[in-house]
Chains A and B, each alone.
Chain A
Amino acid sequence: MNNQDKSTWKGTRDGYGKGLLELGQKNKDVVVLSADLTSSTRADWFKEKFPDRFFSFGVAEQDMVSTAAGFALSGKIPFCCSFGVFASGRAWDQVRTSVAYMNLNVNIGGTHGGISVGPDGATHQALEEIALMRVLPHMSVVAPCDFLEAKKATVAAAYTPGPVYLRLSRENLPIITKEEDEFEIGKAKILKNGSDITIIACGIMVYQAMLADEILKKKNIEATIINLHTIKPLDAKAVINAAKKTKAVVTCEEHLLAGGMGSAVAELLSQNYPVPIEMIGVNDRFGESGSPWELMKKFHLMPEDIADACERAISRK
């Protein structure tokens, strides 16, 4: 991993903003709706180029989401922009009844996901969106790992039938995928094959998993690493095949353990191919203020934590 030049790092919210721009150029039906966080969600890039297709709602996420349903019912492809806490939580019933129930092509970009939001503290650190969104029928949930993947996921969301929730980060992250990498919602990316343990990660934790791999290599532990950018629909084949091969799994997410990506993997494997699973995530507590990487450390979301979990999982085989 040679990614120490932080000037090249970008947030996945930046990828979302670029994806919206690309969609704006290519598809005249794409409209962007924002709830007063236009600059923070990078919706302002679209707004500047396509002011006639940008709609401002003020601090009213519920109204924004149901209005998006009206747009979709009229053949438009809306993207709703807010922080993850408000987009998934404040407007949950609107997402459920106005959007998911009708299986509309309404896409939701929830930025500021996870503990890495930093100093704003618990009220603004979304740790629940994967759980809240994946329980909804028809809903797809995607947590891209870097700028490029976020851009591709945003474009893909517009052309995916039904609603898509995009979980995006505020913090700048290294770009670990390549422009030419293929991306498909629902298709996991196997970054590396190894026979001792499978690490399944999404979002910021994909990078952490790759750093953990450096630690594991020194201990002669060969890991399979899966970038599970799509939590729903889950790529069951990729996950089960990896479990069969390595016989132990570690899941890594910057999200509550209850109901998140790790839970989705556990639901799948426990019914199809039970193996020891260790889960890295936030355990039944709210976040707090601090710098992003201080918090990542405090909440045990670091490469060392992943490597330790791998050893625990292997010992339980």
Chain B
Amino acid sequence: MNSKIDTKTLEKTAKDIRAQILKMLSNAGSGHTGGSLSCVEIILSLYACALRHDPKNPKLAARDRFVLSKGHACPALYAVLAHFGYFPKTELMKLRKLGSSLQGHPQFGLPGLEASTGSLGMGLSIANGMALAARMDKKNDVKIYCLMGDGETNEGQVWEAAMTASHYKLDNICAIIDFNKLQIDGFLCDVKNVEPIKEKWQSFGWEVFEVNGHDFKALTDAYNKAKTTKGKPSLILAHTVKGKGVSFIENKAQWHGIAPKPDELERALKELGE
């Protein structure tokens, strides 16, 4: 993975994954559509181009790890994990159903899933613990990735963890913020302004890479830069569109926590060319 990236194939895969997410959510009848669609390229490019992982051996000792701190976006992660063969795609339609390992928010135990999350703000701390443990074990080339929501940075614990990563100079940490500018109650700037977000992270001692979070080339370049950053943790500030890919879902806060109804699903899939 990681050498020349095939952007065309990835773009096609992203479209398939978006369609898959919408079908899963619609079938479940509930879930988080907007924030799942905004991070498709971030997660897909990570698994396709940056992360050292083996779907046949999810517990591989030398693997890189990915913690989805914004746990509500798990439909995107589930779809990507299934795409890479961690579990059969037939499992995806069991999302949020009784007895399914695809819980409404990620539950540890699912192959390829590194941590339970859902209560926001905890993922970066968990990632830091993994990064410190990797350093203790002298696994110097292991990288720990953590995806947070932008609204999630309202949580004080995120900044506690930001200080910890910086204090311990955790250059094996690469955090990503899905900067889609919306949270449940509305635009971040109205709910609680997080700006200037880039400068905040820089002042906390992080190397920040600002990219278009839907551009595979830009994302892959940023992952590569994060890999070679020494002496400090890296943050990829990925500008995204909430609900990306479906016109009537894009940029609407009300689509944060609802699933498409059957007619909406039909329209959405048509837009995606399904």
A74 within 8 A of B: yes
CB of B104 to closest CB in A, whole Å: 13
| A-contacting residues, B91-121, CB 8 Å | 107-108, 114-119, 121
Q: Known contacts being A73-B114, A94-B122, A101-B116, is A67 close to B132, with CB within 8 Å?
A: yes
Report yes or no: B136 in contact with A70, Cβ–Cβ below 8 A.
no
Task: List the B residue with the shortest CB-CB distance to A103.
Answer: B108
A161 within 8 A of B: no
B13 within 8 A of A: no
A68 within 8 A of B: yes
Q: Which of A56-64, A108-116, A170-178, A258-266 forms contacts with chain B?
A: A56-64
Q: Which residues of A contact B161 (CB under 8 A)?
A: 63, 66-67
Q: Which residues of A contact B122 (CB under 8 A)?
A: 62, 66, 69, 94, 97-98
B133 within 8 A of A: yes
Q: Which of B119, B131, B133 contacts A97 (CB 8 A)?
A: B119
Report yes or no: B108 in contact with A70, Cβ–Cβ below 8 A.
no
Q: Which of B107, B126, B132, B136 contacts A98 (CB 8 A)?
A: B126
Q: Which residues of B contact A65 (CB under 8 A)?
A: 125
7 cross-chain pairs, A with B, having the tightest CB-CB distances, nearest first: A70-B129, A66-B125, A74-B133, A63-B160, A60-B160, A67-B129, A70-B126
Cα distance A55–B125 in the bound complex, in angstroms = 13
Cα distance A94–B126 in the bound complex, in angstroms = 10
SS class, residues of chain B in contact with chain A? helix
Cα distance A65–B128 in the bound complex, in angstroms = 11
Residues of A within 8 A of B (CB): 31, 52-53, 55, 57-58, 60, 62-76, 78, 93-94, 96-98, 101-102
Q: Known contacts being A66-B122, A98-B125, is A75 close to B133, with CB within 8 Å?
A: yes
Task: List the A residue with the shortest CB-CB distance to B130.
Answer: A70
Cα distance A75–B4 in the bound complex, in angstroms = 35
B174 within 8 A of A: no
B127 within 8 A of A: yes
Q: Pick 5 A–B contacts, CB within 8 A, sort by A.
A: A63-B164, A67-B161, A94-B122, A96-B119, A101-B107
* Residue from B117, B118, B127, B129 whose CB has the most chain A CB atoms within 10 Å: B129
Cα distance A70–B115 in the bound complex, in angstroms = 8
Q: Which residues of A contact B118 (CB under 8 A)?
A: 97
Report yes or no: A60 in contact with B129, Cβ–Cβ below 8 A.
no
Cα distance A60–B123 in the bound complex, in angstroms = 15
Query: Count the A-B residue pairs with Cβ separation under 8 angstroms: how many?
Result: 99
Cα distance A97–B107 in the bound complex, in angstroms = 10
Q: Which residues of A contact B164 (CB under 8 A)?
A: 57, 60, 63, 67
* Chain B interface residue bracket vs A: 20 to 34
B157 within 8 A of A: yes
Task: Mark contacts of B178-199 with chain A using CB atoms, 8 A cut-off: 1 yes-contact digit, 0 otherwise.
Answer: 0000000000000000000000
Cα distance A63–B67 in the bound complex, in angstroms = 15
Q: Which of A60, A76, A78, A102 contacts B115 (CB 8 A)?
A: A102
CB of B126 to closest CB in A, whole Å: 4
Cα distance A11–B122 in the bound complex, in angstroms = 33
Report yes or no: A67 in contact with B157, Cβ–Cβ below 8 A.
no
Q: Known contacts being A67-B161, A101-B108, A102-B108, is A73 close to B129, with CB within 8 Å?
A: yes
B253 within 8 A of A: no
CB of A97 to closest CB in B, whole Å: 4
Task: List the B residue with the shortest CB-CB distance to A62.
Answer: B157
CB of B137 to closest CB in A, whole Å: 8
Q: Which residues of B contact A71 (CB under 8 A)?
A: 129-130, 132-133
Q: Which residues of B contact A62 (CB under 8 A)?
A: 121-122, 125, 156-157, 160
Q: Known contacts being A55-B132, A102-B108, is A67 close to B114, with CB within 8 Å?
A: no
CB of A77 to closest CB in B, whole Å: 11
Task: Mark contacts of B238-269 with chain A using CB atoms, 8 A cut-off: 1 yes-contact digit, 0 otherwise.
Answer: 00000000000000000000000000000000
